[in-house]
Amino acid sequence: MSKWYQQNQENYPGVIMSSRVRLARNLRFYPFPNRLTKENAIELIEKFKGKFNNVTIDDNIYTITNMDEVKSIDKVAMMEEHLVSPNFINSLLPSAIITSEDDSKSIMINEEDHLRIQAMTYGADLAKVFAEANKLDDYIEECFDYAYNNEFGYLTSCPTNVGTGLRASYMIHVPALEASGQLRIILDAIGKFGIIFRGMYGESSEPVGSVFQVSNQVTMGFSEQEIIDNLNSVTMQVVDQELKVREKLLREKPLEFEDSIYRSYGLLKYARVLSSKEAMTLLSDIKLGMEIGVLKTDSYNSINIFEIMTSIQPANLQKIENRALDVIERDIARAHYVRQMMPSIKKN
């Protein structure tokens, strides 16, 4: 089955590329993972196996996989797909992952908390992914007792997650804000609303391809709906600004704009060696170009930039090539893959 980000090419996402919700949960009667023994960790996974092996919840079939059965390359690929966190794949504690068929819904077991329930979707739809995560949360709550405190809410390993345990986030593509230098100003402003900006791969990742995650910083003192509404409101303002700057660029420097986008297309279509960073930058350019109507692709060609951006990451690329690749081999394979994926351009 296709992954969630490989579908939906008709609903081409614009500035907001994807939406994600995750809920941090812990079970009562077990120490938090940082104090959990290996035996307890295995016991906890076994309990979930009973509840999640080939179980259908809300029309989704779930399977559970022990992470020690997953090959290293596949673990990294899962991280590149935002299915698991970097911490999770590097953890020494026995851990497992529960996934829906398209990976859009998942639960990490024994990450920083016992459970990290996650739902993701293409484009802007936090309401949908919040509802999906809630259904998984409800199902688990029917089976197990959560660590919950009437005053604080859900208890978590890290105090920043206590309360709702909710982190809602959007992956946004803001090339015009970045190019115009306005992104810095916006970052400062939205910090005051408890919203944080991070690179595509979270906390310590360098931003590439003008793709960022925006998410709530605070999980306590507000209801889930308030957290989501706040993120929505701030993000929509950022989107609005991005669109305004795009219009301004297009109005004031149409030729430079068009030229730079077509040059990026030409390089993606013909380069023989592409680093991940350069490829992300060029893909960002043509995504922008297609959205503002400057890069005119043949109508029968569709292109899923989100899928390409994921597929050119090191582990996914090696999975596509079905062999281990060193850095230069990856740069060659990346250029080859990207060439194949480029849509045709209307003759002019």
Of 101-109, 114-122, 314-322, 332-340, which part binds a copy of itself (CB under 8 A)?
332-340
Q: Which is nearer to a copy of itself, 117 or 317 (CB)?
A: 317
**Rule CB under 8 A: is residue 273 a binding residue for a copy of itself?**
yes
Task: Kindly state whether residue 270 participates in binding a copy of itself, applying the rule CB under 8 A.
Answer: yes
Residues 6+ apart with CB under 8 A from 196: 214, 215, 216, 217
Q: Is residue 84 part of the contact set for a copy of itself (CB under 8 A)? A: no
Three-class SS of 270-300 = HCCCCCHHHHHHHHHHHHHHHHCCCCCECCC
Cβ 319 to a copy of itself shortest distance, Å: 22
Asked if 262 touches a copy of itself (CB under 8 A), the answer is yes
Q: Is residue 312 at the binding interface for a copy of itself, with CB under 8 A as the rule?
A: no
Nearer to a copy of itself, 244 or 263 (CB): 263
Distance in angstroms (rounded) separating the CA atoms of residues 334 and 23: 34
Q: Could you say whether residue 240 binds a copy of itself (CB under 8 A)?
A: no
345 touches a copy of itself (CB under 8 A): yes
In whole angstroms, give the CA distance from residue 58 to residue 119. Answer: 13
Q: How far apart are CA 169 and CA 20, in angstroms?
A: 5
**β-strand partners of 171:** 18, 213
Q: Which of 69, 255, 322, 324 binds a copy of itself (CB under 8 A)?
A: 255
Binding of a copy of itself by 244 (CB under 8 A): no
**Quick one: 141 or 259, whose CB is closer to a copy of itself?**
259
**Closest to 140 in 3D by CA, of 64, 65, 57, 213:** 57
Decide if residue 127 touches a copy of itself (CB under 8 A).
no
328 binds a copy of itself (CB under 8 A): yes
Per CB under 8 A, 327 contacts a copy of itself: no
Q: Which residues partner with 117 through β-bridges?
A: 23, 107
Residue 116, SS3 per DSSP: strand
Which part of the chain contacts a copy of itself (CB under 8 A), choosing from 55-63, 155-163, 228-236, 263-271?
A: 263-271
Query: 3-state SS of 20-37?
Result: EEEEEECECCCCCHHHCC
CB-based contact 105:136 (threshold 8 Å): yes
**Cβ at position 331, least distance to a copy of itself in Å:** 9
Give the residue ranges of DSSP H helices in 121-223. 126-143, 175-180, 182-191
From 189, 218, 325, 332, residue interacting with a copy of itself (rule: CB under 8 A): 332
* 256 touching a copy of itself, by CB under 8 A: yes
Listed ranges 130-138, 172-180, 221-229, 270-278: which one lies at the site for a copy of itself (CB under 8 A): 270-278
Q: Which of 90, 272, 322, 326 binds a copy of itself (CB under 8 A)?
A: 272
- Count Cβ neighbours within 10 Å for each residue of 159-183 and write b for 16 or more, e otherwise: eebbbbbbbbbbbbbbbbbbbbebb
Q: Which is nearer to a copy of itself, 191 or 266 (CB)?
A: 266
d(CA 36, CA 39): 8
Task: By CB under 8 A, tell whether 277 contacts a copy of itself.
Answer: no
Q: Which residues bind a copy of itself (CB under 8 A)?
A: 255-256, 258-259, 262-263, 265-273, 328, 332, 335, 339, 345, 348
